[in-house]
Amino acid sequence: MGVLLVATLISIYEIPKMKKQNMKRDFILFSCVLFLASTIATLHVNGVTISNPISGLRAIFSPIGLGIENFFMEKGQ
């Protein structure tokens, strides 16, 4: 409940400034980041285990790195 209250207060403070200055792109980015952060914080507060994003990145880039390493090792010999 506290996370949503803080997110609402931040929105009440920031959104009128963005509308006044016609900052549409900033508003969209602000909304997406605030929504994502609020969702993650709410899940964390409720005890949901959140996986580390580094694990996903490692799973994607590790094979690429090994392929590049093998490519250069073959060229060097």
**Count of the separate structural domains present in the chain:** 1
How confident is the model over 2-39, as pLDDT tens digits?
899 999 999 999 999 999 999 999 999 999 999 999 99
Name which of 10, 48, 52 is nearest 31 in CA terms.
10
How confident is the model over 47-69, as pLDDT tens digits?
999 888 898 899 999 999 999 99
> What phi and psi values does residue 16 have, to the nearest 5 degrees?
-60, -35
pTM over 0.85: no
Farthest CA pair distance, the chain: 64
Q: Which domain holds residue 51?
A: 2-76
What distance in Å separates the CA atoms of residue 52 and residue 22, rounded to the nearest whole number?
36
